[in-house]
Every structure is written in structure tokens, then in C-alpha cells.
Chains A and B, each alone.
Chain A
Amino acid sequence: MNRFLDFIEGLGAGITGKLDRLGRGAMFFAALLRILLPTFKRFHENIRQVYFAGVRSLAIIVVSGLFVGMVLAIQGYEVLQRFGSAESLGSLVALSLVRELGPVVAALLFAGRAGSAVTAEIGLMAATEQLAAMDLMAVDPMARVVAPRFVAAIISLPILALIFSSAGIIGAYLVGVELIGIDAGAFWSQMQSSVDFKLDILNGLYKAIVFGVAVGLISVYEGYHANPTAEGVSSATTRTVVISSLSVLILDFVMTVLMFRGLN
């Protein structure tokens, strides 16, 4: 009986802890939004952070995109040719990339590559009193350190998602047309007739923007609230990757339901 009560108590403590975190996260988000507009005045700092978050993630995004597209082409061809519609490969690959894989995989890679780096950087700045020093110089660390990194994530991720999808389509073209020998004209025209700019490409872009907000917020939050120790920073970095990935997948499901529900 006692053990059962302990279990219930643990459950309750766990839930209040989670709710507490969620509440803090929401307040942090609100504080961040309040200083977001003045942040754009620190133009160069934003550019610098876009460089660290976006440009430095370019290689992994392009390479992953190419390979995902190539694999999609091989597997897609395998299935489609059974139904004698191998020339639909272009439309299959483009729709999966533009609607889902582009934004989602780019966001997951971004969380691992840039999000974790942002968490570690801010966490270390807190641990070595750099944030305190800034505060004492009468410079708000939220505005100078946190907000530009958050903005950079929102700017970078949609661009990375578009590049990922483009690289994937090129990869699928290489395998499908150049290697397997599907007619290039059919490949592109099937793609064009099935991919709608507004419905597919723009919705994919909206997803990427939302993921950018989520991953950016989680990365800066975890860094800012990390325990100022080596263990604290490393566990915060892990949390960033785990929570970002889960949030991206859950948000993707919710948005897919909202965006594409009325379609079929």
C-alpha cells in the first residue's frame, strides 16, 4: 500500500515538475517576445548567429538531403513499378520531401547540429559568469545573447528546409532518371502536376518556421536555465536534442492534420 502511495506521489511530483517547467518556458517565451523587436536593431549580431546556426549547418543538410532523396527514389521506384506507374516517382518524392521530410528531417538535424551548440554555448556563458558580467555592464543578456540566437533559428531553419528538399529532389533525379532510366520529362511533369505551390510548398515552409520557433526556443531556454556546472550544461544539451526532436514530431503531426485534413 505504502509503495503504491509512493508511486502516486512520485507521479504527482513528476507532473507538477513538468507543469512547472512548462510554465517557466511559457514565461521565458513571453519575455523573449517582448524584446524581439529591438533585437533586430542588433543587425550584425543576428547575421553572426545566422552564420553559426544556418551556414554551419549547410553541409550536413545538403548531404543528408541528397541521400534521403536518393533512397526515396530507389524505394519509391521499387513500389511504383509494381503498379506500372514508375513515372509517378517525381511526384512521390517531391510530395514527401516538400510536405514532410524536408521540414521535419531538417529540423531534427538542426536541433542536433545547431540547437545543441546554442544550448552548450549559453550554458557555458552562464557557468563562467559571462551572462552575469554582461548584466552588470547594463547590457541585458536576454537581448544580447538569447534573442539573436532565437531569431537566427527562425530565419535559418526554413531556408535549410527548402535547401534540404531541393537537394533531395536533385538526389532523386540523379537516381531515378540518370541511374534507373525513368524519362526525365515524365519525372518533372508528374511532379509539377501534383505539387501545388500554395498547398504543399508554402505549408511545408510554415511547418519549418514553426519548427524553427520550437527548436530555437528550447535551445535558448535549456541553455539559459542550465545548472552552471559541466554536468548541468551537458544534460541541458541532451535535453535540447530530445525535447526538440519530440516537439518537432508532435507539432508536425498536429500541423499535418490541420493543413491537409480537408484534402482527401
Chain B
Amino acid sequence: MTAGSETDLITLRDVRFGYTDRAVLDGLNLTVPRGQILAIMGGSGSGKTSLLSLLSGRNKIWSGSVKVDGLEVGSLNRRALYDLRARMGMLFQFGALFTDLSVFDNIAFPYREKTDLPEPVIRDLVLMKLEAVGLRGAARLMPSQLSGGMARRVALARAIALDPMLMMYDEPFTGLDPISIGIVGQLIQRLNATFGLTSIIVTHDLTETLRIAHRVVIISEGKVYRDLTPADVRESQDPFIRQFADGLPDGPVPFHVAAPPYAEELLSAP
């Protein structure tokens, strides 16, 4: 810990970033204290997932500052970046399990690659992690034999294998049935508490998010639009938040992509 507050794990200052010429994030400021479960919400393409890729150093910012545990992510060399990433876990949208490895080998993967532990120790550790997500019985299965919810839980067990300080979840509830959503949500909450993690969840699923998150941040036009507690969200009358919470097709986030007037375009010659 070289700089930054002891209590804040993540500090983002005036972050500007984009994939093309257009800035996706434009002057974003955000701090995340240790131990918090933070939900990030926003429309598609609002830069939620980009935010995660900046935290893990997979993309570089144009300007501003991204600090994780006091380290400026953008200026780390490859080795230091990998050291930092070893202390992060990420759950991908569809789990991203290695399809050519069994469930057991998937979870053993980080141990085999990043540690020199002997095989019997690895075996015990893997079984412990599998037990934590309730899937010890599925150790010998291949990922293709798992349901979506089980795959997500295996991926979760793999992500926490090396006891990270920060967990990032990219749409952890997408494509799951309500029961699985509940299970994954509960796991996120429990892991955060028992392992003392800090969690960032990028999601669309407001109901489950409000149940587990400590704090909800809504991103719009490249900036933090609202920074609220779950209770605030439930009671908010803000049309933007209500559109999200109630799933309205049209509102501040328009249904139509910006275009010239309909009649005008139909009548004009190509």
C-alpha cells in the first residue's frame, strides 16, 4: 500500500476511456471502500464492463487515474500487473470455464499455474472450494454437463481459489433461472463476508442486486449519474431510476436510436 486511503480499495479519478474515438467513460470518479459490495448499473454500452477491464488492466485509460490497493493500474509493468491480477477474481458473464478440463481441473488450474503446492494439497483445496459452492459432487463432470447455474457456481469457486482481495462479477445473473439467481446472489454475499472481500457487481438484475448490495452506482454518459443505497433506489422517484427499476421500454433512456424524423426519411430519395 503505497498511496491512497487505507479504507479505500479502489480509487478512480477523472477517468476517460473509449475503444474507438468516442469516449465511453468521460470524467468518471468513484471510490470503493474495502469490504463493500458495490453494484454498478447502467444501460447497455454505458461503460460498466469497460470499468471492470480497466480495474484488471486489460485496457488502458486515456487520462485520469485508476488505483487498486494503492497501485496505479495503468503504469504497472507486465509482471506487477500479473501480481495484482493474482489478487483479483473475476466471474465472467457465462462462467468462462475451460471446456477441455473437468470441474475439478478447472478449479485446480489457478493452483497448478500460480503455486508450487503438491497435488494432494491442491486436491484438498479444490474440494474445499467446491464444498463452499455446494458442488463437491460434481467434481468429475465436464463443463458441458453442467447447468447454467452450476457452471456459474464452479466459475465462482475458481475465481476465489487464490483468496482474492477483490471480486468482480460481470452480469452474474444473466441467463439463470430465479432459483439459481438466488443461490448465486447468496454466494456472492456469503463469500464477501467470510473471506473479507470487496465485490463489484456489474448487472441489470435490480431485484437481486438490491437484496445483496451495500451500494448502487448508476452510470450514464460516461459519468456516475447516481450513487445510492438500495433503500434509496426503492424509494427514488427519479425517472431514470424508475425506468430501470420498473423495466419501462421508453423514458430517459430512449427506445429509438437518434435518427432524422421518420416521415422525412421515408419520403426522401436515397
Contact = CB atoms under 8 A, between A and B. Distances in A.
Given A121-B100, A125-B99, A139 B94 contact: no
Interface string A120-153: 0100110011101111111100001000000000
Nearest to B83: A138
Given A121-B100, A128-B94, A128-B99, A139 B88 contact: no
B86 to A, nearest CB: 4
Contacts of B100: 121
A128 B86 contact: no
Nearest to B85: A138
B96 A132 contact: yes
A54 B90 CA distance: 35
A136 B82 CA distance: 8
Interface in A98-138: 121, 124-125, 128-130, 132-138
A135 B58 contact: yes
B96 A130 contact: yes
B113 interface: yes
Contacts of A137: 85-86, 109-110, 113-114, 162
Nearest to A137: B110
B97 A130 contact: yes
Contacts of A129: 92-94, 96
Interface string B147-163: 00000000100000010
A53 B22 CA distance: 44
Most buried by B among A124, A132, A133, A137: A137
A132 B109 CA distance: 14
Contacts of A135: 58, 85
B56 interface: yes
A128 B144 CA distance: 13
Contacts of B113: 137, 139, 144
Interface in B77-107: 82-83, 85-86, 88, 90, 92-94, 96-100
A114 to B, nearest CB: 15
Q: Is the interface of B mostly helix, strand, loop or mixed?
A: loop
Nearest to A130: B96
B58 A132 contact: yes
Contacts of B92: 129, 132-133
Nearest to B114: A138
Contacts of A128: 94, 96, 99
Q: Is the interface of A mostly helix, strand, loop or mixed?
A: helix
A15 B162 CA distance: 48
Nearest to B110: A137
Contacts of B98: 125, 130, 133-134
Interface in A178-215: none
A133 B90 contact: yes
A4 B194 CA distance: 70
A133 B168 CA distance: 12
A138 B86 contact: yes
Contacts of B97: 130
Contacts of A139: 109-110, 113-114
Contact of B58 (A121, A124, A130, A136): A136
Interface in A76-99: none
Contact of A136 (B56, B93, B109): B56
Interface string B126-158: 000000000000000000000000000001000
A128 B97 CA distance: 8
Contacts of B86: 137-138
Interface string B189-207: 0000000000000000000
Given A129-B93, A129-B94, A132-B58, A138 B99 contact: no
A42 B209 CA distance: 41
A121 B94 CA distance: 17
A56 to B, nearest CB: 13
Nearest to A131: B96
A40 B61 CA distance: 35
A77 B110 CA distance: 60
Contacts of B93: 129
A135 B94 CA distance: 16
19 contacts: A121-B100, A124-B99, A125-B98, A125-B99, A128-B96, A129-B93, A129-B96, A130-B97, A130-B98, A132-B58, A132-B92, A132-B96, A133-B92, A133-B96, A136-B90, A137-B110, A137-B162, A138-B85, A138-B114
Interface of B: 56, 58, 82-83, 85-86, 88, 90, 92-94, 96-100, 109-110, 113-114, 155, 162
Interface of A: 121, 124-125, 128-130, 132-139, 144
Given A132-B92, A138-B82, 9 more contacts: A129-B96, A130-B98, A130-B99, A132-B96, A136-B56, A136-B58, A136-B88, A137-B109, A138-B83
What 3 A-B pairs have minimum CB-CB distances, sorted nearest first?
Answer: A133-B96, A129-B96, A138-B82
